[in-house]
């Protein structure tokens, strides 16, 4: 029997075929999950729908994670169609480009608030929305982080602070929701060529540094992260919650 036979999974954050969330979705589909996807605007919808259709999925919904009403509408529709959610993938992050190019000390107040809202608070908002659909049978929630949450990474700036808040939110949510059989974890992935990564200055140099220095002497792949995500989203990790696990070819263990 497949790991996700008869189970429902909601995916936030597929922007195109290079998205980490898309790699996770493919693995979930292979293991029998029924999927639903969200998009934030029409440009993302145009790229997402053909991908979803390639997996035989017609559950594609608008959801701006900064809009509480859209979140409520999403869960209302899914509740009516599915009645439950077994797994939730949160792969959502954003910061203004200017706040990644300037010195961190020059981060704007509005830019700081935006990065924390989209990249960290959104996990709390979508977890709260999913709670009524996970209460009966429990469920798993997985989010995506990065090493910049724990260490200073050049040009990551306010996004590093947002990811730090995200990882802390994982722990607090895990403590809150554990009694309801809901597990919350994070994967801190190494750098991957995604749409979001394209906004980080000198990202190509960052990839080169990871490849040269990581113990495995290569960059992490979309498939690497997807396979580890499958572990966290399935019952194979039934005794694990509140954790952030590095999937970065070992780069995080290194000193200078």
- List the catalytic residues: 146, 156
Whole-number Cα distances in Å, 12 to 53, 61, 204: 16, 10, 26
3-state secondary structure of 37: strand
Largest CA distance in the chain: 54
- CA distance linking residue 88 with residue 173, whole number of Å: 14
Q: Which residues contact 110 (CB under 8 A, 6 or more apart)?
A: none
Q: Which residues contact 182 (CB under 8 A, 6 or more apart)?
A: 131, 134, 138, 139, 140, 141
Across-strand partners of 184?
Answer: 141
Q: Could you give the CA distance from residue 121 to residue 126 in angstroms, rounded to a whole number?
A: 9
- Sheet bearing 139-145, strands edge to edge: 60-62, 34-39, 8-12, 87-90, 139-145, 182-189, 244-247
Q: What residues does 88 pair with on adjacent strands?
A: 10, 141
């Amino acid at each position: 029997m497949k790991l996700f036979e008869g189970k429902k999974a909601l995916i936030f954050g597929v922007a195109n075929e290079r998205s980490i969330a898309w790699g996770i979705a493919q693995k979930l589909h292979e293991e029998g999950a029924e999927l639903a996807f969200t998009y934030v605007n029409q440009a993302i919808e145009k790229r997402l729908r053909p991908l979803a259709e390639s997996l035989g999925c017609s559950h594609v919904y608008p959801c701006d994670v900064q809009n509480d009403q859209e979140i409520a509408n999403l869960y209302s529709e899914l509740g009516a169609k599915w009645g439950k959610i077994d797994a939730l993938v949160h792969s959502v992050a954003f910061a203004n480009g200017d706040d990644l190019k300037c010195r961190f000390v020059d981060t704007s107040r509005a830019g700081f608030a935006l990065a924390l809202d989209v990249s960290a608070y959104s996990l709390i908002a979508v977890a709260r929305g999913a709670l009524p659909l996970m209460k009966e049978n429990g469920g798993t929630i997985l989010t995506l982080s990065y090493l910049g949450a724990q260490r200073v990474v050049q040009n990551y700036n306010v996004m590093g602070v947002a990811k730090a808040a995200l990882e802390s939110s994982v722990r607090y949510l895990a403590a809150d929701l554990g009694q309801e059989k809901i597990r919350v974890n994070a994967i801190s992935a190494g750098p991957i060529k995604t749409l979001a990564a394209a906004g980080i200055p000198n990202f190509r140099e960052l990839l080169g540094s990871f490849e040269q220095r990581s113990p495995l002497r290569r960059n992490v792949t979309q498939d690497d992260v997807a396979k580890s995500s499958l572990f966290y989203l399935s019952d194979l990790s039934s005794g694990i919650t509140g954790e952030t696990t590095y999937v970065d070819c070992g780069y995080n263990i290194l000193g200078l």
